[in-house]
Amino acid sequence: MKNIWKTLKKPIFILAPMDDVTDTVFRQIIADLAAPDLYFTEFTSVDGIVSEKGFEPVSRRLQYTKKERPIIAQIWGNDPEKFFKASQLVAKMGFDGIDINMGCPEKSVVKRGMCAALIHNPKLAGEIIQSVKEGGKLPVSIKTRIGIREIQTEEWIGFLLKQGLDALEVHGRTVREMSKVPAHWEEIAKAVKLRDKINSKTLIIGNGDVSSYLDGLDKIKEYGVDGVMIGTGIFKNLWIFEKSEKVHKLSFNQRLNQLLKHTRLFVKTWGEEKSFVILKKFFKCYISDFEGASEIRAKFMETKNLEEVEKLALSYSKFS
């Protein structure tokens, strides 16, 4: 099997994993509009993956279609043995690689010694990396931050660069900073210099405040990274991975049709497995940037099911 990180053409543009956002439905929507070079799943608990009772509810996080390839499964936890078993299962599901979440700043998770907490536990982090390599026998990458309370780029990123990883996605903020301050791209550039200094073959992907495709290209050139990972920027522009700065000025009718397409695919895929409320965070992607958008969006936010969305959409316009 080819190593996906070695076959991707640089610069690499990646859709970031986001909880309750980047499920198979959203990835399919993006694939039809402007596809990134690489997709990630939502982050998935190894505890759930290896649990007989827990696998069914978490398996939907690992659901994907052919149009979402190449795709990396992102997993998290703090038990090396469970990482080993989970990686075996993920490999059987046909993923192109495994990413270990060592950057999520969620307090309840960090308190349990998982995700970003591993920044202060390099010994356990190293054991987890080895378990994933041995269990999945797939390319291994890590998404992380530059520190917990203070910036620790040299210590933490320096450690990770010695672990033989295929790629390292560096979010240029500490855990404490969350997303409240501008990303420290100079620290991401430092990670690149650390990589080059020790002649590591690990790809460095920068993450944080990438607002457009051209902005991504500028950051790649200025900071020397191999690619960028885009998260919340996609909410403002669903075509953000299009290799141009073309502005998609959709008509109101086109916006509603796109919203309906997303809603129908969500309901078709999940039925009642997922709360309809989750879908509403996407409504702003379609109903915005025109006069009266906030009032119309407020009405869509009151809907409770597909039938109500369709009825409301039809009350505004006719659809072919």
CA dihedral 145, 149, 152, 157 (to 10 degrees): -20
- Choosing from 31, 100, 104, 259, the catalytic residue is 104
115 an active-site residue? no
CA 284 to chain centre: 19
Which residues are annotated as catalytic?
104
